[in-house]
Amino acid sequence: MKVNISVMGFEFKRAEYSETFKKAIALEMRNAARKFVEAALPRVPVRTGFARGTLLNLTDAIGMASASSPSAFKRRIRKRAKQDSPVNGLIEYYEGVLKTPENARGFSTPTNRVFTNNGKAWSFNYDNTVLYYEINDAKLNWRSFQFGEAAFIDYLERTGMQRIPAITDYIIRKRLS
């Protein structure tokens, strides 16, 4: 007489995995955005601080206070002989707005829109609408967004994605023999 009983099943801890995944991906997106700032910010020279100030909403979104400190906005270019230079004490405006780091926030992606999740995909979105930033980024070879994007992707590929929990850790095998 012989009896063989074998039942094998799987249980997926969906809610637990989903919550853990959301927290991990949010953290790694912020870490990658920090790499973006660390690569982009030093490439933008400071004259009035307005161009560099367009990155302040991003630094706030990732909790990177050091980028908005006064030392991050020290003048790093030579004094110019032209009388219209703020280095010589005159004030400049951009589209009617006084050119200060703080005022530049209005020309970049708001903090609450930097990271988005539509239920299927997580996104990092950052833009600024300061025309001379875009021109100088290419013409003066700042390439700040190019370096920032490369640092962001490099971090996710080399480190960030490896820190996302494996789905197999949330699957339990059940066996009855």
Helix (H, G, I), strand (E, B) or coil at 162: helix
Q: What is the pLDDT of residues 144-177, one digit of tens each?
A: 999 999 999 999 999 999 999 988 887 777 766 5
Give the DSSP letter string of 18-55.
HHHHHHHHHHHHHHHHHHHHHHHGGGS--SSSHHHHTT
Four-CA torsion 30, 32, 38, 39, nearest 10 degrees: -150
CB 160 within 8 A of CB 43: no
List b or e across 118-143, with b for residues whose CB sees 16 or more CB atoms inside 10 angstroms. eeeeeebebebebeebeebbeeeebe
> Whole-model pTM?
0.79
Q: What is the pLDDT of residues 16-68, one digit of tens each?
A: 888 999 999 999 999 999 999 999 998 998 876 889 899 999 999 998 876 55
